[in-house]
Structure formats: C-alpha cells, structure tokens
C-alpha cells in the first residue's frame, strides 16, 4: 500500500464528507473541521481515557482468543478422532450470532470489563479456532515426516512445523475480524457502562445531541480499528515474510 494513495484516499474521503455536510446543511452531519476541533478538544479531557479503555478491552480479547483457540485448533487439526468429536459442535455453534448472548453474559459477569472482554473473545475464539484447525490439518504429511526424521519429538513438531504453519492463518483471522471486534465492542460499551468509546458516542454525545463530539467518538473508534489493522498487517508482513518473498 503506497503512502501516496493512502493520502489521496484520505483527502477524497474528507472532501466527500465536507460536500455531504454542505449539501445536507443540518447539525446532524457537521463537516470535518468542527469534528476534528471537537476531537482535539476532547482529547485533552476524557476522550483519551475512553480510547485507551476500549483499546485495552479489544486487545485483551484478541490475546485471550488467540491463546485459547490456537492450541485447541492445533490439537483438533492434528487429531482425527478429536476432530470427529468436536467438529460437529463447532459446526453448530460457529454460525450462532454470539452477540445475542450479551444480556446473558452481562447478567453473569456484570457490566465491567469482564463481560465485554468475554463477549469479544468468544466471537474471535471461533474465528481463530476454525482457521487454525484447517491450517493445522492442511500441513503436508511429508513435511512432518521429514522433520521427524531429523529427530523431532511432538513438542518440537508443534514449535517448528505446526505453529509456524498456522501463524499466517491466525493473523489473517485476527485482521479480518478486527471490524467485528470493534463493532461488538461498540455495542457492549453503548449501554450499562461508564467508560469506553461506545459509551462516549452513545451516552456522552448522542444522548445530549452533541453531534461534533459524537462524530469525534466515531472517528476515534475508526482510528482504533485502523491502528489494530495496521499493527496486525505489519506483524503479518514481518512474521510471514516467506509467503510473498521479494527477490
């Protein structure tokens, strides 16, 4: 992705936004400048805190989901009996929109960080689990045999073969589900809480019709998504350099 095109896209987006605001001529769609002004203004107050708590929740969820789903996916992918046993359960539970359980989770885990982190982790867990299982099952047996012939035991096979084979899939799954994670975060933060960007957008701004601040919150949430996407993209390029090696 070239920096030049990124800049052009950004300028185009801002221009479209400004044109839309002028055409609509309503306070419910302020132009970019009042929003940036509100953003800079609120950054000096409590917006940074809301941004950080949201970032913490979504990052922690990603870590928890990856740490739990990767070993389980590896085990299921390699063990046909386990795969036969667990795959129907994954097949049945994977497509259920887990967000509908949010009220139940809040009843059990309260309205603090735990319920939000659990909700996002649960959704990401299945995304990662399925791709790791498939990537681990797709490791060519010849590769495993050749590394075994070098004297590798089970743990070393995991370390040198299965784990690196699954890493690109894990990072892709996380990158693809960044949008879902942020969306779920927004929903989970938009009621019965007093912190996070969702709260800032829905309660602090929308609730009191402070539209520039509301858009500032939307912008901050967009920036959070973009930052996560960028970090995962960089990580993928670094860790998976072998996939598209440059000459």
Assess 143 for contact with another protein (CB under 8 A): yes
Within residues 157-176, the interface with another protein by CB under 8 A covers: 160-161, 164-165, 167
Assess 104 for contact with another protein (CB under 8 A): no
Find the shortest distance in angstroms from Cβ 242 to another protein: 4
Q: Which stretch binds another protein (CB under 8 A): 11-19, 29-37, 89-97, 234-242?
A: 234-242
Q: Which stretch binds another protein (CB under 8 A): 80-88, 96-104, 144-152, 213-221?
A: 144-152
Find the shortest distance in angstroms from Cβ 131 to another protein: 17
Assess 81 for contact with another protein (CB under 8 A): no
Q: Which stretch binds another protein (CB under 8 A): 9-17, 58-66, 108-116, 152-160?
A: 152-160
Find the shortest distance in angstroms from Cβ 244 to another protein: 9
Number of chain positions touching another protein (CB under 8 A): 23
Nearest residue (CB) to another protein, 45 versus 142: 142
Distance CA 225, CA 247 (A): 32
Nearest residue (CB) to another protein, 4 versus 142: 142
DSSP secondary structure string for all residues of the chain: --HHHHHHHHHHHHHHHHHHHHHH-STTS--HHHHHHHHHHHHTTTHHHHHHHHHHHHHHHHHHHHHHHHHHHHHHHH-HHHHHHHHHHHHHHTTS-GGGGHHHHHHHH-SSHHHHHHHHHHHHHHHHHHHHHHHHHTS-HHHHHHHHHTT--HHHHIIIIIHHHHHHHHHHHHHHTHHHHHHHHHHHHSSS-S-SHHHIIIIIIGGGT-HHHHHHHHHHHHHHHHHHHHHHHHHHHHHTTTTS---
Q: Which stretch binds another protein (CB under 8 A): 2-10, 19-27, 110-118, 153-161?
A: 153-161
* Residues contacting residue 236 through CB under 8 Å, at least 6 positions apart: 168, 171, 172, 175
Nearest residue (CB) to another protein, 26 versus 142: 142
Nearest residue (CB) to another protein, 111 versus 143: 143
Interface with another protein (CB under 8 A): 140, 142-143, 145-152, 156, 160-161, 164-165, 167, 240-243, 245, 247
């Amino acid at each position: 992705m070239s920096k030049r095109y990124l800049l052009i896209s950004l300028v185009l987006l801002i221009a479209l936004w400004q044109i839309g605001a002028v055409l609509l001529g309503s306070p419910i769609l302020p132009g970019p400048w009042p929003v940036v002004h509100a953003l800079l203004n609120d950054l000096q107050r409590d917006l940074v805190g809301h941004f950080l708590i949201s970032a913490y929740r979504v990052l922690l969820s990603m870590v928890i989901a990856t740490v739990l789903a990767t070993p389980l996916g590896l085990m299921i992918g390699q063990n046909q009996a386990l795969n036969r046993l667990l795959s129907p359960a994954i097949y049945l539970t994977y497509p259920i929109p887990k967000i509908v359980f949010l009220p139940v989770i809040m009843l059990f885990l309260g309205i603090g960080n735990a319920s939000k982190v659990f909700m996002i982790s649960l959704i990401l867990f299945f995304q990662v689990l399925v791709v790791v299982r498939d990537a681990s099952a797709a490791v060519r047996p010849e590769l495993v045999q050749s590394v075994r012939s070098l004297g590798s035991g089970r743990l070393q096979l995991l370390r040198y073969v299965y784990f690196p084979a699954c890493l690109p899939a894990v990072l892709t799954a996380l990158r693809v589900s960044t949008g879902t994670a942020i969306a779920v975060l927004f929903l989970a933060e938009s009621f019965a809480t007093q912190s996070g960007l969702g709260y800032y957008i829905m309660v602090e701004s929308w609730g009191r019709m402070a539209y520039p601040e509301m858009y500032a919150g939307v912008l901050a949430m967009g920036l959070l998504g973009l930052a996560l996407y960028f970090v995962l993209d960089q990580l993928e390029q670094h860790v998976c350099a072998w996939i598209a090696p440059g000459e």
